[in-house]
Structure 1
């Protein structure tokens, strides 16, 4: 791993976080009552909060030990020993994945088992003789048993072949752990070669999940996660072998993704299970700026901004971050043709999407859009809901956040958009003349409505004003509900709506109503969503339905 020297002043706040997290209350227990909770109730977060508090202590103590050679290693040794005692390093929601190799939960190689292996492997390798040998030997034994054995097994792992963030994180973190530990014998050298080869193949599949535009359908949060571990592994592999996985035009496009979907002021397009204000690791942004000329980190996040306390992000921020000048601005508009996303940022922000309804972390959201002003997304995307057993099950799209009813898209004759790879939008037109962004989508394929011959949604955006037109060709009269989603309650008047003076809507629908839906956010905190429904009729034949939004 990169050497951790005492960082510069810009990391003072992060170092303070590390010192505080390295001590405190005893580690939370991960006993059977906690473990079984997910299987009994479907609730993930109660167990995971305990799990990640343990990882916070581990990461903070490891960082403190590597930054300060005078650190007392007794508390870290106890934490490492306790981590080795855990029944499984995987999360309960993931342990089913080990069944593909006929292995038990102890040998489930999921995201978090791989990350744990990476953390403890680099820690004991870097500390060397400073750490009690009995602790180091036990850590090495546990990493081999829990992670290296499944990875050296030729049978496919559950996450291989999907080309999403799991490929990069599991393969990257496992490869990094192998690079840290496997160097003592010819057998180690053979195992390391096999594991690095498997990781390289996983990285090829991960990159294959991107189009040439470099867009991440999973959103900026999962770009940080997957692409972060891709970069961490790639740089370690380059140091070990000289082979440079970053030397690629496609990788350069992927590196630029978050900057192309920025709305301004630290906000980013929150499509799919993403968030509007993701944290971006300062070390990752620094390395990408050095390699590709992308914008460097403007702030150093808190230790606690990553609620999973991933060693990859923390250690590389401590090792790689340095202040860099920002490059010249590259324009206010972005279009990603493979994703079918359009983004404009300026005094106000706008984003809209096409795509299909079988994307990673899919939401049924073809034709959905976001309007952003004064640092707030007024017409909003809800992002990720609370992750539960059901959220990733067959009934996923019954949950508000990924459902069509949680997005600003039409309901036709009582029928919402359907999931599936064949439920796809067709881009009919995109243009940006410097003053107006035009974006037209054929959304017909998203619906299964008798009598709906076509539905075309047209966006015309000039900074602060959106003209939205839905053109419907129907074989019979079709009732239409136009949904507009916000976390702010609109005030209705005849033919108009107002969201706190930040945005106004004018429309010609004969009826409009607001409903409120209490829900919970990704962290299980109470949330409230307002759904404005403008109801109208699409008569047999062709009709146009126009909505004009003005932003303050």
Structure 2
């Protein structure tokens, strides 16, 4: 099949091919996925210790497979051993996605429950089981007779037993109905494995019909603006697998899932969330600097005219080492001479995100509601990104643990209201739930910036609070005026919170971050530092500037002015 027969590597992929060769040359024993490693999550709630071992095994698998498919003369004996070892794994699903007697899942309630569906751990069809099935199916199909028949037969049997059998069974799978990345990744990867390994049959047709319904639900989870509430990282994940599946389905059946106006809007989403220089708005459980697969961007550029890839990610940028992303970069990447540009201002009305780009600084803010996929309590949050650094910040994703995806989610710093630049009203934080929403009152692109107003009243449950309007007025020359207009039945103490990863300096009636952004203040402020761990388990410190105000009974307006110090030693540049 086309995705497994790679063309000659262009010079732009030299670094990636060198990464592949280096990992393929590693002949150290594969990390062991023994009982202690597997059971660690159920005992401690820690995901990373097991997953690091698991992903290192996938890295070796992918590197050896890519090397073999790039070089028809490559020896495949070590790859055969790795394929055999993957078939030996107790389960291809992650422990965090498995529910068995006396053990709890770390994901949102109902994400994966092998026992509830009648499947044990070995046949739990989660994201990573589906991805593994697709990788193995594509590798053995691409290698054909170069691989020992016994290895190929075992791989085919294990893919069928672990993934295709649950997919063919009529019992509901736990992720069906989610309408997010689970639908497209699980259905897309499992569906591609089915198309690769099965001949035309009623069984295959029923699987593809099931996958088609999942893809419909996935698309329905997006608004007409094409925005991904989970952020750019999950756009790469969910939409990437949607595209990979759609291309293969079109090749095999003629059905074109990409021929949909909403798909074209979704394809443009990351460019609307771009802050410049490889940074993107890190709202929800996203990261500021996600990696975007070059092959995926090349295919989208060809189909929809979206910007082509500006950089080639390294082999290690995807710490989960997903075969589909790597293989499509090797198969689909095309050098492009076009220089991509982004608009001065983007607004996603369904997400209620605004991103406005000045010559040296970018402003972004969000509305939405507090029950979005990978939700944070962050209605009315904003950021200021200056010359490649997000000074007023959204922290993005924290470390995924069992409790991070539980009823105690908002006790964790990153998804909590404490980690966002939003007001605390009468000591009350924003509350979770779909009814806790921000209504867009105004969005207007102006010649010199943008005006963006949100009604945040529903986000709080405070006796005496009648209305809370947050107004942003941003000038692209580097000035932001934030005004909270409060209507109250009684005097209400309010704490305005401004979050950064840079330690603030408070002096001379001002707060300064990174000697770049200044907030004028006319009252004493407090600063606290909150420590946590980021998505990769590294130490992460948020510095919170706390500014007290009192909203009297009636209507009052409280304005805060931020100014960006632009570089005087060089001309202003356009952030792209």
Give TM-score scaled by structure 2 length.
Answer: 0.94
Structure 1, residues 474-524: CA drift from partner, whole Å, max 9, x if none? 11111111000100011012532001211000134x330111111111000
| Structure 1, unaligned runs of 5 or more | none
Q: CA deviation at 1:538?
A: 1.0
Q: Which residue pairs with 1:353 in the alignment?
A: 366
The structure 1 residue matched to 2:299, chosen from 266, 287, 300, is 287
Q: Which residue pairs with 1:369 in the alignment?
A: 382
Aligned pairs (5 A) from 1:390-405: 390-405=403-418
Of 483-492 and 432-441, the range deviating more from structure 2: 432-441
1:471 aligns with 2:474: no
User: Secondary structure in 2 aligned to 1:34?
Assistant: helix
In 2, distance between residues paired with 1:434 and 1:140?
60
In 2, distance between residues paired with 1:500 and 1:379?
10
* Contact 2:516–2:564 (Cα < 8 Å) also in 1: yes
In 2, distance between residues paired with 1:549 and 1:326?
36
Structure 1, residues 285-323: CA drift from partner, whole Å, max 9, x if none? 000000000000011100000000001100000000011
* Contact 1:483–1:534 (Cα < 8 Å) also in 2: yes
The structure 1 residue matched to 2:18, chosen from 16, 19, 25, is 16
User: Secondary structure in 1 aligned to 2:201?
Assistant: helix
| Structure 2, unaligned runs of 5 or more | 100-111, 566-576
* Contact 2:308–2:340 (Cα < 8 Å) also in 1: no
Structure 1, residues 218-264: CA drift from partner, whole Å, max 9, x if none? 00000000000000000001111111110111100000000011011
In 2, distance between residues paired with 1:258 and 1:491?
34
Q: Which residue pairs with 2:568 in the alignment?
A: none
Aligned pairs (5 A) from 1:88-237: 88-96=91-99, 97=112, 98-183=114-199, 189-237=201-249
Q: Which residue pairs with 2:497 in the alignment?
A: 483
Q: CA deviation at 1:400?
A: 0.5
User: Secondary structure in 2 aligned to 1:291?
Assistant: helix
User: Secondary structure in 2 aligned to 1:319?
Assistant: helix
Q: Which residue pairs with 1:538 in the alignment?
A: 551
Of 437-446 and 486-495, the range deviating more from structure 2: 486-495
- Alpha carbons of structure 1 residues 382 and 328: separation in structure 2 relative to 1, 3 Å: closer
In 2, distance between residues paired with 1:21 and 1:105?
29
Aligned pairs (5 A) from 1:485-500: 485-500=499-514
Q: CA deviation at 1:327?
A: 5.9
Aligned pairs (5 A) from 1:433-512: 433-463=446-476, 464-508=478-522, 510-512=523-525
In 1, distance between residues paired with 2:90 and 2:341?
50
Of 495-504 and 245-254, the range deviating more from structure 2: 495-504
The structure 1 residue matched to 2:62, chosen from 54, 59, 62, is 59
Q: How many residues are aligned here? A: 547
User: Secondary structure in 2 aligned to 1:511?
Assistant: coil
Q: CA deviation at 1:345?
A: 1.8
Give TM-score scaled by structure 1 length.
Answer: 0.98
In 1, distance between residues paired with 2:188 and 2:534?
29
In 1, distance between residues paired with 2:22 and 2:44?
33
User: Secondary structure in 2 aligned to 1:483?
Assistant: strand
* Contact 1:100–1:156 (Cα < 8 Å) also in 2: no
In 2, distance between residues paired with 1:414 and 1:76?
59
Q: Which residue pairs with 1:321 in the alignment?
A: 333
User: Secondary structure in 1 aligned to 2:96?
Assistant: helix
1:307 aligns with 2:309: no
1:29 aligns with 2:7: no
User: Secondary structure in 2 aligned to 1:427?
Assistant: strand
Q: CA deviation at 1:5?
A: 2.2
- Alpha carbons of structure 1 residues 293 and 170: separation in structure 2 relative to 1, 3 Å: same
* Contact 2:272–2:342 (Cα < 8 Å) also in 1: no
The structure 2 residue matched to 1:257, chosen from 260, 264, 269, is 269
* Contact 2:391–2:514 (Cα < 8 Å) also in 1: no
In 2, distance between residues paired with 1:71 and 1:426?
59
In 1, distance between residues paired with 2:176 and 2:82?
31
* Contact 1:504–1:550 (Cα < 8 Å) also in 2: yes
* Contact 2:381–2:421 (Cα < 8 Å) also in 1: yes
Q: Which residue pairs with 1:411 in the alignment?
A: 424
- Alpha carbons of structure 1 residues 300 and 330: separation in structure 2 relative to 1, 3 Å: closer
In 2, distance between residues paired with 1:382 and 1:351?
13
* Contact 2:383–2:393 (Cα < 8 Å) also in 1: yes
